[in-house]
Structure 1
């Protein structure tokens, strides 16, 4: 419990956490506006035979988070890599000599924070996009709640996975590169392939599973199976990080 309290204090007493949140909120709002204005434009400039469709505001939040997730990943990884950069990891391990408990304490603090973080970003982008879309926005409360909770779930697991990798890589630039590739770039590239094996690989990566989960896609994996894949990546990242921390010097 003392380790958890310590990690909570460290998270909120460094400026990088607040800078990250401010930047992510601003980016989410701007992207939400862009999606909303695009929806309104598309529906008022239809080609012959096209039918105007309303856009669920929750879908806007889900779409935005697939881009902003890299910023959230940076929030998670900095809780680990900043300690290696400053050398404070040595003090942390002296205060909590059972190294596994350090990883668990950071994860215990990050999990609820990341969930609320995801809700915040999705809510802001959904609201901004809905207002920009005007009459073309669908504000169905039930769908919005489901979409927001789904984003919170995904952001939590993606962040925990990134934090686990941070224990392995130990550098901010290196961990951010891995997160950027596995959460966004590689799944996006492979999912567009005409080769079925590559599409499957994309769906089994954390970013691809997250996209399938948030969009409700059923090919090649159902949203439920995509959620299981995400859980496995998050747990695997933390287990790997814990083992590396236990074996290597700080």
Structure 2
């Protein structure tokens, strides 16, 4: 039996089209799920994210109480913590991709699932689900911590709190997809993390630090700027529903662009 190269991977030269490994996309997702939890790094990333959320929200609420800030929705503390906590998800998603390039196991993954888009999509689905679940837990814990630390300087409405908790999960899920695409494009943890730290933190900070409405508008169209607007707008829904929708679509567009860039590199270059 001879072998031939097919789009997205290697297949057998039997003349029949290669439809990928048994189990199709569901099988690929199951495989990625097992691979993700077979190492300790994801657990450490999630524990770090939970710890950062608790510390950040306690600090945020304590400062608001000490300085006598105006009363605000208690969920704003958890929403503000995302600027830091998102990097726990970024590291987790980066490891899910680049660890396979580092060990050479990506070649095995592409042999088992020859359709390359399926491998990338399965990884994106798995890390997005994990990031959404983790994000909602982080936000719920952070809100509980902040409520005590605010000392009466925050308002609590169940609907608003639930909306912001879910919004944090949605934003972190989109960040996870963006990270997977970036990691497939960079193929190296240092390169991937450099791009993401610049995009999610350094560049927005510089633009806002320089000041001016034009630079602030640019920062607002970057992933975290749009994400922060989304997390805060949901607290005032339905009055800000259009703002929230536009903001989350902006983050989604960045995630799709990164996914397509990663897929382009994955299809063009050998593992």
Q: State the distance in 2 between where 1:58 and 1:136 align.
A: 12
Shift of 1:80: 0.3
Q: 2:250 aligns with which of 229, 236, 241?
A: 229
Q: How many corresponding residue pairs?
A: 240
Rg larger in structure: 2
Q: State the distance in 2 between where 1:247 and 1:226 align.
A: 32
Q: State the distance in 1 between where 2:110 and 2:134 align.
A: 28
TM-score for both structures, normalised by structure 2? 0.83
Please, which runs of 5 or more residues in structure 2 have no aligned partner? 1-25
Q: State the distance in 2 between where 1:42 and 1:197 align.
A: 31
Shift of 1:136: 2.5
Q: 2:171 aligns with which of 151, 154, 158?
A: 154
Q: How does 1:1-250 map to 2 (within 5 A)?
A: 1-43=26-68, 53-216=70-233, 222-250=243-271
Structure 1 outlier segments of 4+, above 4 Å = none
Shift of 1:192: 4.1
State whether residues 188 and 208 of structure 1, in contact with CA within 8 Å, keep that contact through their aligned partners in structure 2: no
Once superposed, what is the RMSD of the aligned Cα atoms?
1.9
Shift of 1:138: 2.1
Please, which runs of 5 or more residues in structure 1 have no aligned partner? 44-51
